[in-house]
Every structure is written in C-alpha cells, then in structure tokens.
Amino acid sequence: MRNVLKFTSVLATAGLALSLTACSSDSSSSSGSSPDAALTVVASPTPHAQILDFVKKNLADAAGLKLEVKVVTDYVTPNTAVQDGSADANYFQHVPYLEDFNKKQGTSIVSVEPVHLEPLGLYSKKVKSAAELPNGATVGLPNDVTNEGRALKLLADNNVIKLKDGVGTAATPADVVSNPKNLKWKELEAAQLPRSLPDLDAAVINGNYALEANLKPAADAILLEKAAGNPYANILAVKKGKENDPRVKKLAELLHSDKVKDYINTTFNGSVIPAF
C-alpha cells in the first residue's frame, strides 16, 4: 500500500497474521486440495468474517464443507497469503483494489464471485454535514490507490471538490482541480482512519472499518456512496487456477444463498448490501 505498507515487509508479517485465532475452531491444514480438506479463508473482521462465520455455523456442515476462517486487519496479508498458498481464498476486497494489487505486486489472484457492497462514507465528530467543514479543514483519506481515488470521487460527486476530467477512481490529491474549502489531506492506512477521526475534521472510511468502530454508515455518515452501478462489491478471491476447486465453488454457492442475503440485510441494516 502506497506510503505505508511495503511488499517486502508484508511477507514477513503474513505468517504472524495468519497465526491469529480463527473465527472457526477447525484446525485442519489448508494445504490439502481434496474435497475433505478444510478450506481456509482469510477475511477482514467486519463484515467479512461475520458473514463467513454465519456460513460455517449454519450452512457449511449440511453442504459438506469444512471451513476455517482466519481474521486479519490489513489489506495486504490476505492477498500475500493466498498467493503463497498459506490460505486457499480471501474475502475482503473489491475488484479495482485486486487489479491494482496484482499489477503492482506481480500476484495472480482472481475474483470468484461478488458478495456484498460496503458503502464508503465521510464521517466527522466535529460537523454534521460536508457544507459545515471549515476552510482549511483536514480530511483523512485511505492511502491505497483504489480506495483513495474512490474517496476523492465521493467528495467530487457531492460537489465538495472537483477532479481532473477523466481521472476516475485513479484520482490522487494531485488531481483535485477545484478545492473551494482549501481542504488539507491526511493520507493514512484505511484501518487507522476510524482511530484518527477525533484528530481530523472528517475522514472517508471504508464500510468494514466503520462498522468495526461502531459507526453505522447508513446513519452516521455525512456523505455515503450510492449502491446503484457501484463497481466496488467485495469479492471471494483465490489464486488463479483454484477457481474450480470444489470447496471454493461450494463456498461461493453458499455465499449467494437466500439465507446469507437475509442475514446481511437483517444484521447490517443497509450498512452492508448484498451484491447478488
């Protein structure tokens, strides 16, 4: 991730992160590829691991799937773990982030299925609307390329700033061509933004990290992404070549079930939206 996480250092931390206590109690190895081996999935805590835990407790046994969930809190370890084979799949990211990661890190991870959308939102402890942001306010942004561009697009779509024509979700602060409030940018790792919110005038926070911080996107965000036509659905992903693993196919089918859709709708009240 730009300016914060370097690929070389992440490789050293991946094993440590994967040693964290799993959401499941299944201790089977993920190295096997037989239908009877446990499928190990690396996931962000909220809502990804919650959704997987629902599948494990309520659907997996009846479907003949052994599921192990490993929880990590950064946006790099899940991909390095899948790439090096220490995990079978991950569930934490959207396709634009995955494509950027593959391009920069030389990995070969592919999407299996979209599962849900977490609307990105602008939050503040100091103002109740974007219009109330003072001149020179400091706004926190996620510092990975795709989410930073997405954050700036959210502000541009709501007329807080204007971006260079055609820049799309690849935008960086250098692409801001109009900034009437002279906003200052604080680029931080996405997971740090909720903790830093009291020290900022506002911050654009990813939906999963907002939920972990007890923020309710549908109620607390002063600006929130629209779901219609949104390309940022979070996906189940695997290393290229594992898409046809019967265990992966079985998990994808369960994640697209009506029971999971109902669970997402009733548990997250619009802060997480099914993408199927």
CATH code of the domain made up of 121-224? 3.40.190.10
pTM of the model: 0.74
Count CB atoms within 10 A of the CB of residue 262: 11
- Give the pLDDT score at 204: 98
For residues 224 and 121, the answer to whether their CB atoms sit within 8 Å is yes
- Region 89-115: mean pLDDT is 96
Q: Which two tokens stand for residue 147?
A: 């989410």
Q: 209-219 pLDDT, tens per residue?
A: 998 899 999 89
- Quick check: helix, strand or coil at residue 231? coil
- Give the pLDDT score at 146: 82
- Give the pLDDT score at 263: 98
Pick the more confident residue, 197 or 229: 197
pLDDT band at 15; cut points 50, 70, 90: very low
Burial 219-235 (b: 16+ CB within 10 A, else e): ebbbbbbeeeebebbbb
- Give the pLDDT score at 26: 41
Q: Which residues contact 44 (CB under 8 A, 6 or more apart)?
A: 71, 72, 73, 78, 91, 92, 208
Count CB atoms within 10 A of the CB of residue 237: 28
The residue type of 146 is T
Count CB atoms within 10 A of the CB of residue 97: 22
The DSSP letter of residue 75 is S
For residues 144 and 94, the answer to whether their CB atoms sit within 8 Å is no
CATH code of the domain made up of 7-119+231-274? 3.40.190.10
- Topology agreement, domain 7-119+231-274 and domain 121-224: yes
Query: Diameter of the chain by CA atoms?
Result: 60
- Give the pLDDT score at 33: 64
Backbone angles phi, psi at 17, to 5 degrees: -60, -40
- Give the pLDDT score at 19: 47
Cα–Cα distance, 10 to 84 (Å, whole number)? 12
Q: Where are the alpha helices (DSSP H) in the chain?
A: 7-18, 50-55, 61-63, 77-84, 95-105, 145-157, 193-196, 207-212, 217-220, 246-255, 258-268
* Sequence spans of domains, the chain: 7-119+231-274, 121-224
Backbone angles phi, psi at 58, to 5 degrees: -115, -20
Segment (H or E) for 140: strand 138-142
Of 3-12, 70-79, 161-170, minimum mean pLDDT range? 3-12
Pick the more confident residue, 6 or 218: 218
